[in-house]
Structure 1
Amino acid sequence: MSAQRKDDHVRLAIEQQHTRSTVNQFDEVSFVHHALAGIDRPEVSLATSFAGISWPVPLYINAMTGGSAHTGAINRDLAIAARETGVPIASGSVNAYFKDPSCAGTFRVLREENPDGFVMANVNATATTDNARRAVDLLGANALQIHLNTAQETAMPEGDRSFSSWVGQIAEICAAVDVPVIVKEVGNGLSRETVVTLQNLGVRAADLSGRGGTDFARIENGRRELADYAFLHGWGQSTAACLLDAQGVSLPVLASGGVRDPLDVARALALGARGVGVSGGFLRTLLDGGVTALVAQISTWLDQLAALQTMLGARTPHDLTRCDLLVQGSLRSFCADRGIQTRQLAQRSSSIDALREMTGSTR
């Protein structure tokens, strides 16, 4: 049953990739173009760091799958792509392994094919502390993701219906494991209030994982006989909205959900993300063109991100947070309702002197 569900998830996720809405709130975020802000390409670094973690690039392959022969093969290719490009990678939920240890290899392959890379294990918020440690040990993981998915569980025919223990369980896991804990949503977003709560629980970073990418409530509804939970399709906040909502919170945030290209990566970084994850888009590339195509796509994205940083005058990904941004449309309305000031984002480099300071220029 569990293996079949994992295979169903992949099939339905790919169907979504082929029928995705063109509405994406990243399109309501734009950079103010300053024609003299550019720097020289050799000055640009893609390295990022947060919560004591250092990554060579700010892009990562986010949690997808595992638990069946088919998904194990997918994980193998994802791990090879991560190894060849240097991007961090997260496993899908290892809950299937807790239920059936015989599927361990479908997850362990992420480490076997990528022995020196940054690998994140993934568990749900009901995992015991013992199982959290088992997940870390299974992958020799550098960090542990805990995923939050109340909308998915609600639509899932066999899903959980008890969520009140999650807060306490997250705190226990944070105290029990020896690696940083990153809490992520699965595509419905984390509000500012949730991010603050996670910080108080001992979480080291939050992956906002907003609406705009794979919709797991829609996937689970597709597995229901009557498909009677369609009203949950599109539930939650977009990734761009979550990034704006988290402005000023000291807990480091990562961004995933609806990231389509290197410009979306740059937008997310400029809105404060320390790293940007992609799942569905990379999965589609892998299944359509194989691991060679995925390696080529990730390599191209990294090259193009460096090009954007060069044009914008950002020596590091974090320097993008000093670039001027315009927030428009429905995203601006969201900010108004949530009491988020957007004007200051458009004035982060308010004079040519500030631009020269940003780029180190003396001209």
Structure 2
Amino acid sequence: MIMWGRSMAYRMAAAVPFPLMGWDVDEDINYGWMRRIASSTLLQFMQHPEFLQDSVPTLGFYGAFEPAVQIYSCRASVYWMGKLFMGLLVPEDSPFWTATENNGAWDNAFEADQVYNKFQPGSEILITNYPNIGASEVRSWCHERVADDWQKFRSTENYNRLAYNTEFHWQADGANGEVAMNYLFLNDKQEWEAFRLYDFQKFEKGIYYRDVVLETNEEWAMNLADIPLPNGILRVDRQLSPQTVQMRLGHYALPDLGHGIEVSSREVKGHSVTILDNGSHQLAMVPLLGWGQTEVVSAEGLHPISEKSKVLVVTGTYEPETNSNPIYATLMLWKKSGESWSDEELLPVEVSPSLIILRKSS
């Protein structure tokens, strides 16, 4: 189950439509895949060591996680997850129970070194599948002001991330510029403020386009372009602000799983690459155009998986009077731990001051 949206404490309740599909008999439905999704979502939480505290499910995602708790949440809210067990009402001779569990498209349709996009026109959501890492990712858009958000969650990390990934759960923003999968700007109050006022533009030729403005100063604006690649994301964003701005862009964050997080760097064709490795996954950040430097930012209490985490953040100052090129381009890449990186994987593009070209294999 992806960590995205409101009411995360309900957890596996989100999977209940899959068993309920067993009331219908449709030869076009892969019931074994539906059951695999439902049972895997159940086990995702039931087998996690921090799921229960004093034999009661915690308010959070795995363990307790305050940034994901809504103002309407209470101790009993977690039992909403029990809705998944409504699937047990489906007759035992239903194809949902009799079919052999399988991984569906992940086994018979998705190929390695490819990326698969599925755009939903009604909701303007882009769903991306990455066979190389076995992850799915969601891109959407929200336009919710903190000043108008009386429920205090629609304008938060639950919705305002640039993307949401099944392998990399979102990390909350910190007061000192900690940010994951979003932009931060140093606003007029000298506070780091995240983007949250997005407007979808189009999905065309594999590129997801959004425009965004800063809530406290709508002259601080950007055009955003996300290009999913087999091993990550290419971002090519345009700065539109008429004033000098200080900004930060964060990759996904990695939790410390008890063995620390290794940091390494290398140079590929004149581009600096910084890599994090927590023993489970690797994340690489490659600034291509516009950015100043890459920082490794440590955080505490902001990640749903562990108390300590790290995130790669690129930083920059945009000065419209002196910056002739307003483009800020970045590669945000990933791999499983133990896998090596080729230069072609770390730099799957050709870069010039005015042009970025994807290599054919990408």
Q: Under a length normalisation based on structure 2, what TM-score does the superposition of the two structures give?
A: 0.27
Q: From the CA coordinates, give the structure whose radius of gyration is larger.
A: 2
Larger helix fraction of residues: 1
Bigger RCO (CA 8 Å, 6+ sep)? 1
Larger strand fraction of residues: 2
